[in-house]
Amino acid sequence: MRETLFLLADLWMIFVGYFYGWKLIRRYGNYLLGLELMVVATSGSNFLLWSLLGANSDSVMYDVAYFFDAFSRSVGITVILIMGLMKVTHRYEPSPGVDVGVFAAATVAGLFLRHFHGADLHTDRAAFAVAVFYVVVNLLTAVFLGYFVKRLLAAGARWPAIWTGLVTAAGTTIAITYDLFPLPFDDAHRTIFYTAALATWGTQGFVYFRAYRALHDHNAASDAKPAHTKEALA
């Protein structure tokens, strides 16, 4: 039963990442958010294959899994997420150079930080510092998402705002639990934790897309009002 729930959670995250990532790119031209969701989906696909093929820690897919993990936890679902959402909160339009640069930075971070996965946090100070870093950047991202919720409420998007707040709280709980507070009742493969994490990350992608769409539509309607007013006056 645990394994089935794990697979379903992973498949959910994969679907959300590819489906809504593509929608963000095609419909809104948001390469930052769209590509990051696809990175998350690719990470989930790799993790799924690794699990199905025996979950061998000597596998290349194991190293790839923790590269993607470090990629998204350090820069992807933090800096890139914020920059992507700023398109609807601040009308931010990054240049292609910025897009390439931030993904390059995430790649470097992923390659460097993945080496600290699995280290003993009680004896390895560097690994402990990395674990704390992941929590700090998640909390800072949550602060911005709190502002995003405020903007949604101001736009009249009550339910997207509520769901954004809930999934952000869930994501922060996962971030804090990940390295610092492993579940004592979990198995050696941390099946319960990863099931909850994958389900949460997938739901975050789903909810953030719908919240993004709500604020985008509100902005578009606001931009159209002056034109309608002019037509009425004419």
Tell me if 13 sits within 8 A of 201, measured CB to CB.
yes
Looking up tokens 């199905």 gives: 52
Amino acid at 5: L
Domain hosting residue 189, numbered range: 2-233
Q: How many CB atoms are located within 10 Å of the residue 130 CB?
A: 22
What pLDDT shows up at residue 121? 85
CA distance 207 to 2: 25
CA distance 134 to 88: 26
What pLDDT shows up at residue 55? 75
CA distance 74 to 80: 10
- Exposed/middle/buried for 144, CB within 10 Å: 0-12, 13-18, 19+? middle
Per-run averaged pLDDT (10 residues), the chain, 234 residues: 90 97 97 97 93 82 92 96 97 94 97 87 89 96 98 97 98 93 86 94 98 96 69 44
- Exposed/middle/buried for 220, CB within 10 Å: 0-12, 13-18, 19+? exposed
CA distance 228 to 17: 37
Q: How many CB atoms are located within 10 Å of the residue 229 CB?
A: 10
For residue 168, the domain's CATH number is: 1.20.1070
What pLDDT shows up at residue 53? 86
Identify the sign of the CA torsion 108, 66, 41, 211. negative
Give the predicted TM-score (pTM) of the model: 0.92
Domain count, the chain: 1
Q: What is the per-residue DSSP string for 28-52?
A: H--HHHHHHHHHHHHHHHHHHHHHH
